[in-house]
């Protein structure tokens, strides 16, 4: 589709739909804004395409509509919240703000969230803190679901378990958002709906063979960890780490066998000013960004990119800004 | 080689060699013990095989022999140290202890180290804290060197930039230690020395083609990031994150153009007891470990392993314990 919509119109429309489904204004606006941010970052499987699924969850009462997260633990630089299945896009934004506040007080801070609902695009929380000079990491898993097998095994036991980071530089931040599997469940859903093949052999069938056929995920197959059959022990190890950071520190996960779509989340914020100083930090990250961009590509290839940088550049040129929507698909 | 040596003899011998090269007893013992731990964990490129290189560094005065790290910043839960090129195996062990102490005080704690010498095997620091119930992460990079190109570029700009984690469970911990490139520079050195090929197309030649020929690294080539040419944007992103966490928070790195073999390090310790409780933590990680091990392998394949678990099991059976040494090679 090439149709373009103005940002304020889209935000207002999405928020209104969420208010119509029962969310208070403030929460609806936070969720709409977070989803739209995902679209603007190019993560279109985790943007407004999710709105329909969220409305369904609100309608059937499996996404909580009101109230606040409950503080389960609070000690120094860390806090644990029970999000009571409130919208994860909202509660994660609250957790980022809280972790950032504690980082100002203690140098770094962390908030673990149990029983969150889906948090959509992790990178969408990170541009604003990075522009304020905070280095924020977000980790997420869904203990109710399993698409990724342990390396060497056939039965899926984990979700794609993403790691995200907003890294300040002297100019645009570097926004990292990578699943520890080669791709996401949402991308599988979209590819199946389009009757297409994956861009690589990113799936494993029920017998352990790598394939580009996404439909194997509905026939006992799985999404391969980063590294695939060749060196997937690395993606597997990182996936285990994300499970421990999110469900372990949150104290709620697969051991409780939850059955509803949700998330376990960990947010860590660092205040570079409490380490070696904000200037020293961006001197190093700016230098790194430049040497990466200066690394020559092979002939006839595009220049090296920094994660999210081209998108952030485009956003500063309003006439070039547009939300591109992919085909809606189930997010699970 | 099938020759076996007793642990106490090896420890005493390695420590004596380091003392002979000028290290005080306490530091020599810490370094010898850390290297031996790497061998016991199976990371033989990062164990006693490094001893010769360390002695050379001590002899030429590029590894500092005495004194302590200097505290550059100290604020709440975080500290930054200038290690003054002291042996990194020793200073990292000190940093793990300090981060763990702060985690007890604040829930989590971090120590960033600038101007460290080489720190060898990251996993070697993590078993003891994990058995005490602490979740510790270690990140490392070497700003003096570059073997890994940014995804889409040809010129190397980063090192293999490992991520390690010691994850407590109710039984043996899970010890993760993965470079964000497919393999390490030391493994390249060993493979070249053996006249062999890499196990996969883990290298990139100067023109951007993937190859299993390790010698390309000496002819303008590089080590591919995790994911290789297929999805190496993920390994690249994680490598950038490690650079920011280590050199950015440490405030010293590529921008200062250091030329001597060394390391920038970040240690983060979490006290699960200050989050949701140690019992809840190991309930989740133990459950995860069990579902991973229960995931059936393809016919005629070995069962799924948890990172480092088989090694830790073997170590509890002294008669089966032995140090296996690979061919010594340059660690760089």
Structure ipTM: 0.95
Interface contact flag, B283 A255, Cβ < 8 Å: yes
Q: Tell which phi-psi region holds residue A31, choosing left (phi > 0), alpha (psi between -120 and 50) or beta.
A: alpha
Average pLDDT, chain B: 94
Residue-level pLDDT at A309: 83
Structure tokens at A187: 């991308």
- Residue B115 is assigned to a structural domain of this protein: yes
Contacts (Cβ under 8 Å, ≥6 apart) of A319: none
CA angle A95, A96, A97 (to 5 degrees): 90
What is the DSSP secondary structure assignment for residue A120, as one 8-state letter? Answer: -
Residue-level pLDDT at B2: 66
Chain A residue at shortest CA distance from B156: A295
Q: Is the pLDDT of residue A151 over 60?
A: yes
- Residue B207 is assigned to a structural domain of this protein: no
- Residue A280 is assigned to a structural domain of this protein: no
Residue-level pLDDT at B311: 86
- Residue B325 is assigned to a structural domain of this protein: no
Q: Tell me the CATH number at A117.
A: 3.30.1370.60
Interface contact flag, B249 A281, Cβ < 8 Å: yes
Residue-level pLDDT at B12: 96
Q: Which residues pair with A225 in a beta bridge?
A: A181
Chain A residue at shortest CA distance from B209: A298
CA angle A223, A226, A228 (to 5 degrees): 70
Chain A residue at shortest CA distance from B175: A237
Residue A4 and residue A321 in contact, taking contact as beta carbons nearer than 8 Å: no
Interface contact flag, B174 A77, Cβ < 8 Å: no
| B179-229 confidence digits (pLDDT tens) | 999 999 999 999 999 999 999 999 999 999 999 999 999 999 999 999 999
For A173-193, b/e burial (b = at least 16 CB within 10 A) is bbbbbbbbbbbbbbbbbbbbe
How far away is chain A from the Cα of B81, in angstroms, using its nearest Cα?
10
Residue-level pLDDT at A1: 53
Residue-level pLDDT at A327: 36
Q: Give the three-state DSSP class for A310.
A: helix
% of residues, chain B, pLDDT over 90: 90
Rounded mean pLDDT of B104-130? 97
Interface contact flag, A284 B240, Cβ < 8 Å: no
Residue-level pLDDT at A154: 98
Interface contact flag, A150 B75, Cβ < 8 Å: no
Q: Is the pLDDT of residue A331 over 50?
A: no
Interface contact flag, A152 B303, Cβ < 8 Å: yes
How far away is chain A from the Cα of B260, in angstroms, using its nearest Cα?
18
- Residue B197 is assigned to a structural domain of this protein: no
Q: Is the pLDDT of residue A318 over 90?
A: no
Query: Which residues in A lie closer than 8 A to residue B286 (C-beta atoms)?
Result: 255
Range ranked top by mean pLDDT from A37-46, A320-329, B139-148: B139-148
Chain B residue at shortest CA distance from A156: B295
Interface contact flag, B76 A77, Cβ < 8 Å: yes
Q: Is the pLDDT of residue A323 over 60?
A: no
- Mutant choice from B201, B237, B238, B285 vs A, greatest count of A C-beta within 10 A: B237
When pLDDT is cut at 50, 70 and 90, the band that residue B325 belongs to is very low
| A43-71 confidence digits (pLDDT tens) | 999 999 999 999 999 999 999 999 999 99
What is the DSSP secondary structure assignment for residue A319, as one 8-state letter? Answer: G
CA angle A131, A137, A143 (to 5 degrees): 140
Rounded mean pLDDT of A226-246? 98
Interface contact flag, B154 A295, Cβ < 8 Å: yes
Rounded CA-CA distance A258/A117 in Å is: 12
Rounded mean pLDDT of A321-327? 42
Residues found in chain A: 332
**Which of A80, A107, A152 lies at the smallest CB-CB distance from B305?**
A152
Q: Is the pLDDT of residue B323 over 50?
A: no
- Residue A158 is assigned to a structural domain of this protein: yes
- 3-class DSSP string for chain B: CCCCCCHHHHHHHHHHHHHHCCCCHHHHHHHHHHHHHHHHCCCHHHCHHHHHHHHHHHHCCCCCCCCCCEEEEEECCEEEEECCCCCHHHHHHHHHHHHHHHHHHHCEEEEEEEEECCCCCHHHHCHHHHHCCCEEEEEEECCCCCCECCCCCCCCCECCCCEEEEECCCCCCEEEEECCECCCHHHHHHHHHCCCCCCCCCEECCCCCEECCHHHHHCCCEECECCHHHHCHHHHHHHHHHHHHHHHHHCCCHHHCCCCCCEEEEEEEECHHHCCCHHHHHHHHHHHHHHHHHCCCCCCCCCCCCCCHHHHHHHCCHHHCCCCCCCCCCCC
CA angle A35, A38, A41 (to 5 degrees): 155
| B65-75 confidence digits (pLDDT tens) | 999 999 999 99
How far away is chain A from the Cα of B25, in angstroms, using its nearest Cα?
31
Interface contact flag, A275 B150, Cβ < 8 Å: no
How far away is chain B from the Cα of A94, in angstroms, using its nearest Cα?
18
Which H or E run includes A286? helix A278-294
% of residues, chain B, pLDDT over 70: 94
Q: Is the pLDDT of residue A104 over 60?
A: yes
pTM for the model stands at 0.95
Interface contact flag, A249 B112, Cβ < 8 Å: no
Average pLDDT, chain A: 94
When pLDDT is cut at 50, 70 and 90, the band that residue A311 belongs to is confident
- Residue B294 is assigned to a structural domain of this protein: no
Residue-level pLDDT at B1: 52
Rounded CA-CA distance B317/B302 in Å is: 21
- Residue B57 is assigned to a structural domain of this protein: yes
Which range (A233-242, A251-260, A313-322, B299-308) has the least confidence? A313-322
When pLDDT is cut at 50, 70 and 90, the band that residue B321 belongs to is very low
How far away is chain B from the Cα of A205, in angstroms, using its nearest Cα?
11
What is the DSSP secondary structure assignment for residue A194, as one 8-state letter? Answer: T
Which H or E run includes A34? helix A25-40
User: Higher-confidence residue: B14 or B313?
Assistant: B14
- Please give the residue range of the domain that contains residue B23: 7-182+224-274
How many domains does the structure of chain A reveal? 1
Query: Which residues in A lie closer than 8 A to residue B227 (C-beta atoms)?
Result: 182, 226-227
Rounded CA-CA distance A209/A222 in Å is: 10
The four Cα atoms A254, A257, A263, A265 give a dihedral, to 10 degrees, of -40
Rounded mean pLDDT of A216-238? 97
Query: Which residues in B lie closer than 8 A to residue A240 (C-beta atoms)?
Result: 167, 174, 176, 288, 292, 306-307
Rounded mean pLDDT of A120-139? 97
Residue listed under structure tokens 């203690």: A106
For the sheet with B263-270, list strands across it: B70-75, B78-82, B108-116, B263-270, B135-141, B163-167, B174-178
Q: Is the pLDDT of residue A329 over 60?
A: no
């Amino acid at each position: 589709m090439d149709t373009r919509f103005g940002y304020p119109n889209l935000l207002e429309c999405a928020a209104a739909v969420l208010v119509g489904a029962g969310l208070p204004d403030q929460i609806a606006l936070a969720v709409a804004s977070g989803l739209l941010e995902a679209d603007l970052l190019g993560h279109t499987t985790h943007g407004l395409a999710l709105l329909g699924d969220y409305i369904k969850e609100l309608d059937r009462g499996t996404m909580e509509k009101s109230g606040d997260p409950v503080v389960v633990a609070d000690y120094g630089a860390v806090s644990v919240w029970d999000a009571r299945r409130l919208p994860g896009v909202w509660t994660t934004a609250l957790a980022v703000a809280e972790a950032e506040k504690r980082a100002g007080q203690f140098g770094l801070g962390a908030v673990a969230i149990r029983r969150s609902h889906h948090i959509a695009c992790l990178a969408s929380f990170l541009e604003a803190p990075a522009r304020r000079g905070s280095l924020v990491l977000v980790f997420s898993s869904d203990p109710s679901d399993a698409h990724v097998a342990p390396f060497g095994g056939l039965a899926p036991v984990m979700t794609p378990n993403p790691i995200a980071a907003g890294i300040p530089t002297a100019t645009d931040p570097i926004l990292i958002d990578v699943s520890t599997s080669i791709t996401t469940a949402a991308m599988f859903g979209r590819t199946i709906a389009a009757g297409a093949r994956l861009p690589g052999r990113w799936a494993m069938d029920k017998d352990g063979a790598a394939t580009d056929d996404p439909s194997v995920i509905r026939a006992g197959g799985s999404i391969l960890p980063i590294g695939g059959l060749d060196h997937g022990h690395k993606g597997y190890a990182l996936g285990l780490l994300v499970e421990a950071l999110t469900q372990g520190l949150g104290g709620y996960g697969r051991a409780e066998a939850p059955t509803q779509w949700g998330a376990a989340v960990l947010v860590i914020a660092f205040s570079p000013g409490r380490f070696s100083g904000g200037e020293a930090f961006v001197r190093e990250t700016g230098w790194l960004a430049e040497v990466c961009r200066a690394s020559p590509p092979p002939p006839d290839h595009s220049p090296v990119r920094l994660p999210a940088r081209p998108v952030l550049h485009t956003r500063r040129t309003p006439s070039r800004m547009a939300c591109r929507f992919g085909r809606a698909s189930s997010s699970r």
